[in-house]
């Protein structure tokens, strides 16, 4: 006896789940990038803030970093995907103190912390 696919009550559900998973993970035919979040760890080390981001397949020259003292933006591209992450820093930093290194797909950025507020002398 042949199976009649029209009688499978789960067929539509499984097709929809597969479609949604392909959208989220950049499955077959999806070349839009920005499909999964970049793994970024942020470490507050007292006087410094350090970020470590995984950027597999990216060349060093394809990385662009911007910081306004509160948010670090990481933009990069590889043949397979694009990265565009905005990471809110746990403390205000001196964006001009930034030091960045990139080795084997791992980006590391360090900043010097800035005092949150300054005392104001009243004359």
Q: Which of 42, 62, 64 minimizes the C-alpha distance to 52?
A: 42
Residues 25 and 122: their CA atoms lie apart, in Å, by 57
Residue 38's pLDDT is: 73
Per-residue pLDDT in tens (0 to 9) along the chain, 123 residues:
455 555 666 667 777 777 777 666 655 444 444 445 678 999 999 999 999 999 988 999 999 999 999 999 999 998 888 889 999 999 999 999 999 999 999 999 999 999 867 777 898
Residue 13's pLDDT is: 78
Q: Read off the pTM.
A: 0.65
Tokens representing residue 5 in the block? 């696919």
Residue 92's pLDDT is: 93
Tokens representing residue 80 in the block? 């397979």
Cβ-in-10-Å burial (0-12, 13-18, 19+) of 111 comes to buried
Residues 73 and 66: their CA atoms lie apart, in Å, by 5
What architecture is domain 5-113? Sandwich (2.60)
Neighbours of 58 (CB within 10 A): 21
Residue 55's pLDDT is: 92
């Amino acid at each position: 006896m042949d199976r009649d696919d029209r009688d499978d009550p789960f067929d539509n559900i499984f097709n929809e789940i597969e479609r949604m998973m392909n959208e989220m993970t950049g499955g077959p035919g999806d070349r839009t990038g920005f499909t999964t979040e970049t793994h970024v760890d942020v470490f507050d080390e007292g006087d410094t803030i350090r970020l470590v981001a995984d950027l597999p397949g990216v060349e060093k020259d394809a990385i662009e970093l911007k910081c306004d003292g509160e948010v670090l933006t990481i933009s990069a591209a590889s043949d397979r995907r694009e990265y565009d992450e905005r990471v809110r820093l746990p403390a205000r930093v001196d964006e001009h103190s930034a030091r960045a290194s990139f080795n084997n797909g791992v980006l590391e950025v360090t900043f010097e912390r800035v005092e949150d507020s300054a005392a104001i002398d009243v004359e």
